[in-house]
Amino acid sequence: MDPFEQAKALFLQALEHHNGNRFGPAEVLYRKALDLMPTRVSLLVNLAAVLASQQRPDEALVFCERALALEPGNPDARSIQAQCSRAEAGPAQALQMLDQAIAADPSNVEAHSNRGVLLRDLGRFSESLASYDRALALSPDHVGVLANRGSVLARLGRVSDALASYRQALRIDPGFAAAGEGFIHLVLDSGFAPADHDPEFDALLIRAIAEPWARPASVVPALTSALRSQSAVADLLARIDNTWPQRMPLSPALAAELTQVVHGNPVLAALLVHAVISDIAIERLLTTLRSWLLHEVATDPHADRWPDVVSTFNCALAMQCFTNEFVYETTADEGSMVLDLRKLLVDALDRDQPVPLPLLVAVASYLPLYTIPEPERLSARRWPAPVEAMLERLLGEPLQERHACERIVRITGVGNEVSRQVQQQYEENPYPRWMSLVPGRTRMPLQEYVRNRVPGSEYRTSHRGTEVAVLNAGCGTGQAPIDTALRLAGARVLAVDLSMASLCYGARMAAKLGIDTIRFAQGDLLELGSLDQRFDLIESTGVLHHLDDPAAGLQVLATLLRPGGIMRLALYSKSARRPVAAARALIARRGYTATAQDIRRCRSEIMALDDGAPEKRVTAFSDFYSMSECRDLLFHVREHELTLPEIKRMLDAAGLGLVGFELEPARYDAFARSFPDPAALTDFGAWQDYEERNPDTFAEMYRFWVCNEHDRRG
């Protein structure tokens, strides 16, 4: 094949990947084609577009300049050049460059689209929408424009129109993740729910939690709302709630109803498998269903007849119980029956006899299977597909964690008494349990990584080089450092935690996701000053407030930050955690302790309170619905709740200055309406004023970014 034909073949392959947003393979093929035809303008422009899509503007500009040197008026090259150079050239010049590209070729879809992006980022949403509409007039099926148009419509408050734009993009390209992520984040931020049952909407919510398009825990309320909107489910929930705390008796008619309403319900199935369910009424339904299963098996433990739909549902229920660490209320009778059935299960394994499927699933719904003697014997047997999936979650993953521990080193001791108590808590209850993260479509440079999380940030990194040294201090089960490794270009992460059990969980998840750029290590944040390494990025979210002295911990982290580096922190808000304080007061009055039995009893008492009780408000926290998270929420051995003035004093003492808070766009828009001066974004006084008027703004935590005060002012 001559070079032209070979380059053409490579170009067509690259274009297929490019159009499918598979930018990595497209880049490789475009580069191979350019080696054969280095002066082909279309190749130079398309490679520049791919590099720009991967947040690599400097490299993209090189190929734009090569294309424009060969063809000075090329509108595509000008459009990409404007897109990539706006940070350096400024928005006015970038907009002028785009207008020149459009004037040269009014039919240039990408130029209109890039103009829409620039205007959106400038906050000129109506003008941005007009640019997107012109792009769609030229290319109605352009999924990227449809998704971006959805984001602008959302900022204009046109929620229904925005969701329609996202849904249209997903109909054209079901795999277009940007549209899926935009759809689910808008649903969650707006609280939107269809007026009538909408199967397509439900299917999108299921994809959002399964693929996922957002953190699964965040999707649970929307899926819960969709489940409750089903009239048959709502009726069943009401009947169970009316008899609670007594278990509604199981009748033949009710058993038939369950097969139709519950067992084959795709929304409930997605909730059971992919996240902890955080809804009192649904928890009571599942507690009742589990109890019925247990009593049926206890009545005839050797029965092994089970319809496929029932088998699939009950295996998913066992997975939910394992994920929430068996937090559901268990009566004394149930506890006794479970122990009897566990003995039957172990005896069957010891005698190498068949294990009835209902017996196995009933036991798995009440206690961890990995605690039975030689649990590997269960995995060695052949089971139906739903049981195999259940055993992978309940047995395979814990056993993998045991092996992961062998690769984790200790880098500091644990000398502080409070640190030792915290360590013990998380050894017993690793926190949080999680199953998936939103895949990173592209890894972005550090500056873009920060600006993506802090709208309006003026942060400019002085970092140079291909690697970014990252410290995650207090990484828990690895969710935060793994997310960073997926999204930050060149990230090399040291992830440190007190708890070996938590580190093993994180190491297993990193291996599962194919991430080899994280080093997990056991150590105490307070002792990390002994490290001889300095870091470009330090992340410590939800950790400092559990130290004996949060300010001392922050001082240690500040010494580990390189000049020009940046730090991401998260701390509890005293204002937002008033329900937690009320629940903790109840716990103190009742004398509940941090045992599994007492946590279950405490939860039952709180859930039974009148809705107006201040302690009942804690049930709005998703952490209330699993054992480890509830222990972290209500029974932590040490916790500090802080105010913004207290945080400012800590930062001042450490020589750190505020870069900005992390909040969803709607919150930022509301703040900007109250404080239009851009300088307010880094003004603790303005944020304190805003929080006093909106006390639930930081309901999860204060999440914010800081840097060395000298770097910020410079």
What CA–CA distance (Å, rounded) separates 213 from 216? 8
b/e sequence 524-542, b meaning 16+ C-beta within 10 Å? bbbbbeebeeebbbbbbbb
Give the separation between CA 45 and CA 71, rounded to whole angstroms. Answer: 11
**Alpha helices for 519-636 (secondary structure H):** 550-559, 578-590, 596-607, 627-634
User: What's domain 417-575+641-713's architecture?
Assistant: 3-Layer(aba) Sandwich (3.40)
Tell me: pLDDT of 636 over 90: yes
Alpha-carbon gap, residue 662 to 697, rounded angstroms: 11
Query: Which among 477, 493, 494 is positioned nearest to 437, based on CA atoms?
Result: 477
Closest to 85 (Cα-Cα) out of 114, 105, 124: 114
Reading phi first (left if > 0) and then psi (alpha if -120 to 50, else beta), residue 524 is in beta
Indicate whether 237 pLDDT > 90.
Answer: yes
- Asked if residue 194 has pLDDT above 60, the reply is yes
Least confidently predicted of 191-195, 456-460, 620-624: 456-460
CB atoms within 10 A of CB 140: 11
Residue where the block lists tokens 């350096």? 88
Q: What is the pLDDT of residues 655-702, one digit of tens each?
A: 999 999 999 877 888 899 999 998 999 999 999 999 999 998 998 899
Bond before 550 cis per omega within 30 degrees: no
| 395 three-state secondary structure | helix
Grade residue 88 by pLDDT with cuts at 50, 70 and 90: low
Residue for token pair 């939800």: 542
* pLDDT at 274 (0 to 100): 97
Distance CA 471, CA 525 (A): 11
Place of tokens 């945080």: 647
> Residue 668: in which H helix or E strand, if any?
helix 665-674
Closest-CA residue to 134 (of 164, 170, 98) = 98
- What does the mean pLDDT of the chain come to? 92
| DSSP string of 172-215, one letter each residue | H-TT-HHHHHHHHHHHHHHT---SS--HHHHHHHHHHHHTTSS-
Q: What is the mean pLDDT of residues 276-294?
A: 96
DSSP-derived letter for residue 545 is G
Backbone angles phi, psi at 647, to 5 degrees: -65, -40
**Chain segment 99-130, per-residue pLDDT in tens:** 888 988 899 898 899 899 889 888 899 999 99
**Distance (Å, whole) CA 523 – CA 473:** 9
Of the candidates 402, 405, 400, 554, the one whose C-alpha atom is nearest the C-alpha of residue 474 is 554
Greater pLDDT, 22 or 382: 382
What would the pLDDT profile of 133-186 be if each residue is shown by its tens digit? 999 999 999 999 999 999 999 999 999 999 999 999 999 999 898 899 999 999
State the pLDDT at residue 277. Answer: 97
The CATH number, out of the four listed (3.30.360.10, 3.40.50.720, 1.25.40.10, 3.30.230.70), of the domain defined by the range 3-165: 1.25.40.10
For residues 601-621, give the mean pLDDT: 96
Q: From edge to edge, which strands make up the β-sheet containing 656-661?
A: 409-410, 518-522, 491-497, 468-473, 535-541, 561-571, 702-708, 656-661
pLDDT at 592: 98
Give the domain ranges of the chain: 3-165, 230-403, 417-575+641-713, 578-634
> 18-32, 347-361, 399-413 — which one is most confidently predicted on average?
347-361
- Judge whether 554 and 544 are in contact, CB under 8 Å: yes
CB 610 within 8 A of CB 630: no
The pTM score is 0.87
Q: How far apart are CA 26 and CA 176, in angstroms?
A: 16
